[in-house]
Structure 1
Amino acid sequence: MSGPVHRTRSSANDTYLGGPISTETRINERIRVPEVRLVGPNSEQVGIVRVEDALRLAYEADLDLVEVAPDARPPVCKIMDYGKFKYEAAQKQRESRRNQQMTVIKEQKLRPKIDDHDYETKKGHVIRFLEAGSKVKVTIMFRGREQSRPELGFRLLQRLGNDVAEYGFVETSAKQDGRNMTMVLAPHKGAKTRAKAAQDSGRRAQAEPTPESE
């Protein structure tokens, strides 16, 4: 009976159960230890077996034997389709990068001594940004003697955070940044999805014919 077929070795970015699979990952007959703690293809715990038996089980299942925890004693190996695993890991990483790139940060600037009308206008902008799924960096700009009154900025940012709590939360608390004071608000999970659903619903409503009156 011929031995298991070699698959492509992992890249540095591959992961398994939250931990990295390095470029030194050993698979199949490259695993040169007497015994391994074996995990089956459905994540079932097989137990400690001779490496020859683990290789045989992997070969019989037409899968690979992959060393996933080389520092354990004995090393932990899993029977899996290594090519499929690498493909799925790469897909997840691409999706993660795409989600990170899609995160938009808007900025809203305020003065510490802002009148009520201007405040309501700026608050409305912040709410719209959050509803659209964007983060918002709120900046309080101090001028002249205002810099000696940082409590005005803290109170204003605290007020804004409370007023928009229905739409988002304070991701980064207020902090001094040179002459300015900043705070970052983030939308609640699913805000962008809800906003898109509402937009699609509005478009469908506009597309529907209006019933003629008799």
Structure 2
Amino acid sequence: MSTEPRINDRIRVPEVRLVGPNGEQVGIVSIQDALRLAQEQDLDLVEVAATARPPVVKVMDYGKYKYESALKAREARKNQAHTVIKEMKLRPKIDPHDYETKKGHVVRFLKAGDKVKITIMFRGREQSRPELGRRLLSKLAEDVAELGFVEFAPKQDGRNMIMVLGPHKKKTEAMAEARAAKEERKAGLGGRDAESAEAVEQAETTEAVEQTEAAVVAAPVEQAEAVVAAAVPAGADQATEEQS
């Protein structure tokens, strides 16, 4: 079933409530008069409220209207935020270096506006000491308190203990900041790239000039040697040696 509004001759009702191209209320008129007014202005008659009695129609440029609507929909999808739940798994007796690495990932996820599910995995006798997992989760929550909060308190789930951290920053805010930072980096790199390109171009030019000068200097020597070789008859060197 088509979701597009009816336009022009597809509007088959005897009367309509007409709205002009600038939003002015014309009133209730026959469909023939509405179509005539739209044709006189070289525009379309578009049904904007089909369930009203009588239906509401507007005089507009339908092609332009569809184009602008598509742009708005695309911009809305671009700015739409999808909250993602990331997961990070740790062991109760994790190495300090590994802990810092895992914490760095959690920080990155929270900065991006995503939730993080922290899972502590117990093995063997570690299951009898759940306080190790709670202590580790509490430490992690404190370390990232500036970026996130405990949305779901630590809870034992079989051999695992789970905690969920939520970001203080909304996903839309994080996306906006990321785009701004990207544009700033592009602007900063633009000047350096231009300078680098200019330096490379100057180096290539200098090298080409040096090669050309070397070729020009070497050419007369090679040409002179060729002329001498052509002027001395074959076997002349041997005859000279015999006379000596």
What TM bracket, shorter-length normalisation?
0.5 to 0.7
Question: Percent identity at matched positions?
Answer: 45
Partner of 1:79: 59
Deviations 1:119-167 (A, max 9, x none): 6654544454566xx44341210334499789779867865774116xx
Using the alignment, how far apart are the partners of 1:38 and 1:200 within structure 2? 50
Deviations 1:161-194 (A, max 9, x none): 74116xxxx8xx5488x75444454362521222
Using the alignment, how far apart are the partners of 1:64 and 1:53 within structure 2? 13
Pick closer, same or farther for the CA change 1:26–1:118 going to 2, 3 Å. same
Greater shift in the superposed pair: 142-151 or 30-39 = 142-151
Which of 69, 78, 88 matches 1:109?
88
Two-structure CA RMSD over aligned residues (Å): 4.5
Conservation of the 8 A alpha-carbon contact between 1:153 and 1:181: no
**Displacement of 1:58 after TM fit?**
0.8
**Displacement of 1:41 after TM fit?**
1.8
| Residues 86-97 of structure 1 aligned to structure 2 (within 5 Å) | 86-97=66-77
Pick closer, same or farther for the CA change 1:153–1:139 going to 2, 3 Å. farther
Bigger radius of gyration, 1 or 2? 2
Conservation of the 8 A alpha-carbon contact between 1:37 and 1:48: yes
Q: Which protein has the bigger helix share?
A: 2
Which of 23, 26, 43 matches 2:23?
43
Using the alignment, how far apart are the partners of 2:38 and 2:135 within structure 1? 67
Pick closer, same or farther for the CA change 1:71–1:153 going to 2, 3 Å. farther
Gaps of 5+ in 2: 196-244
- Number of residue pairs aligned between Structure 1 and Structure 2: 181
1:164 equivalent in alignment to 2:144: no
Conservation of the 8 A alpha-carbon contact between 1:137 and 1:182: yes
Partner of 1:58: 38
Pick closer, same or farther for the CA change 1:120–1:208 going to 2, 3 Å. farther
**Displacement of 1:75 after TM fit?**
0.7
Which of 96, 99, 119 matches 1:141?
119
Deviations 1:42-71 (A, max 9, x none): 333333322222112111111111112111
Partner of 1:198: 184
TM-score under structure 2 normalisation?
A: 0.52
Which structure would you say has the larger RCO, counting Cα contacts within 8 Å and 6 or more residues apart?
1
Using the alignment, how far apart are the partners of 1:106 and 1:200 within structure 2? 30
**Displacement of 1:29 after TM fit?**
2.4
TM-score under structure 1 normalisation?
A: 0.58
Using the alignment, how far apart are the partners of 1:80 and 1:146 within structure 2? 73
